[in-house]
Copies of this chain bind each other. A is one copy, B any other.
Amino acid sequence: MLKGYTVPRSPLGQAAIDPPPPWHYSSDVLAVEFWADPKVTASMLPQGLSADPKTNGHAVAMFLDWQFTAAHDEYLDPARYQYREAFVLIDAAWNQQPVTFCPFIFVDNDAALARGWIQGFPKRIGSIFQTRTFAAPSPAAAPVVAGTRFAASASTHGQRLMNAQVSLREPVADPFKIFNRPTALLRYFPRLVKGQQDEPAVNELTLSLTDNLKLVDMWAGEGKLEFPVVAGEEIHNLGPVKVGAGYRYSMAYSVTDLKILESFA
C-alpha cells in the first residue's frame, strides 16, 4: 500500500517530493509594482478570467526568500525545502471580483515546484536572488531604513529574466491596503494519450487560500524593474510601460485548502 501525498509514492511515504498539507510559509519579499501593455496582460489570462476593467495592465513583480515547513519539522531540512522564488501577478477579474493572476513563476527547488503545480502556480526551475538584510552592522548589512536599496534578479537556464531594485523611503502603515486581492491560478495537468493531448486531465481555475496571512514590516520606496528579452520566453512581453512603487516586507501564511472557481476539463 503506497503512501504519499505526491509522487514518488512509497511504502513509508517519506520519499514524496512533498509532504501533505498543512503547508506553512514565511518569507522576505521584494516587490515592484508596474504597468504593462494592457493588450499583453489581457492576452495572458486563462479561460474564466477577464481583464480588470479598471486596472488592466497593472501588475506586480515579486521576489521571495521562503522558508517552508509542513507537520514534521521540514524547516530543519533546509537543503531539501528552503527556496527562492520570483513571479509576476497581473490584475484581472473573475466575474466581478478583482483578483490577480500568476502567468509566470520560477523557483530553485523541486518541492516548491510540485506544490505550485498542485495549487496552480505554473512553476519552472530558475535561480533567484535578493539582497537580504542582516543584523550585524556593516556596509554589507542592508538595514531596513530609509535610503537602503535592495535588488533582486531571476534567471532560468542561464538567461536573465527579471532585474529589480527597491530604494526604501518609509514604512507602510497598512500593508493590506497595498496587497488586497486574492490570487487566481490555473491548475492544469495534460493528457498524453494520442488524440487527447488537447484535452487536459485537469484544467481548473482556482483561488489560492492563504490561512493566517501576515504582512509585516512593510516599507515602500522607489521601484525599478526590467524584463530582458530572451528568445524562447514570453515574460519580457510584460516589459514595463511604467514602473511604480517598490516594497520590501515579510509575509507568512499557511495552505490547507484550495478553492476551485471553475473546471474546464
| Chain A interface (Cβ < 8 Å from any Cβ of B) | 2, 5-12, 14-15, 17, 20-22, 24-28, 40, 43-47, 65, 67-69, 73, 75-80, 82, 103-105, 109-110, 113, 117-119, 122-127, 129-132, 134-142, 149-155, 157-160, 165, 186, 188-194, 197, 201-202, 212, 214-217, 232-235, 237, 250-260
Contacts and interface: CB of A to CB of B under 8 A. Distances in A.
B140 A26 contact: yes
Contact of A68 (B68, B118, B140): B140
Contact of A160 (B45, B103, B158): B158
A9 B140 CA distance: 25
Most B Cβ at <10 Å: residue of A8, A15, A24:
A8
Determine chain A's interface SS by DSSP, over half rule: mixed
15 contacts: A2-B186, A7-B122, A8-B122, A15-B104, A21-B197, A24-B139, A26-B137, A26-B138, A77-B151, A78-B132, A79-B155, A117-B117, A118-B192, A135-B217, A137-B252
Nearest to A74: B140
Contact of A117 (B7, B119, B127, B193): B7
Assembly of this chain: how many copies? 4
B65 A194 contact: no
A27 B138 CA distance: 10
Contact of A252 (B76, B136, B159): B136
A221 B201 CA distance: 44
Contacts of A189: 117-118, 189, 201-202
Contact of A192 (B40, B123, B214, B257): B257
A159 B160 contact: yes
Given A138-B214, A158-B79, A216-B136, A105 B8 contact: yes
A103 to B, nearest CB: 6
Given A67-B132, A194-B256, A212-B138, A43 B11 contact: yes
A8 B82 contact: no
B250 A136 contact: yes
Contacts of A256: 194
Most B Cβ at <10 Å: residue of A79, A105, A235:
A79
Most B Cβ at <10 Å: residue of A130, A214, A234:
A234
Given A136-B250, A250-B136, A157 B118 contact: no
B157 A79 contact: yes
B25 A234 contact: no
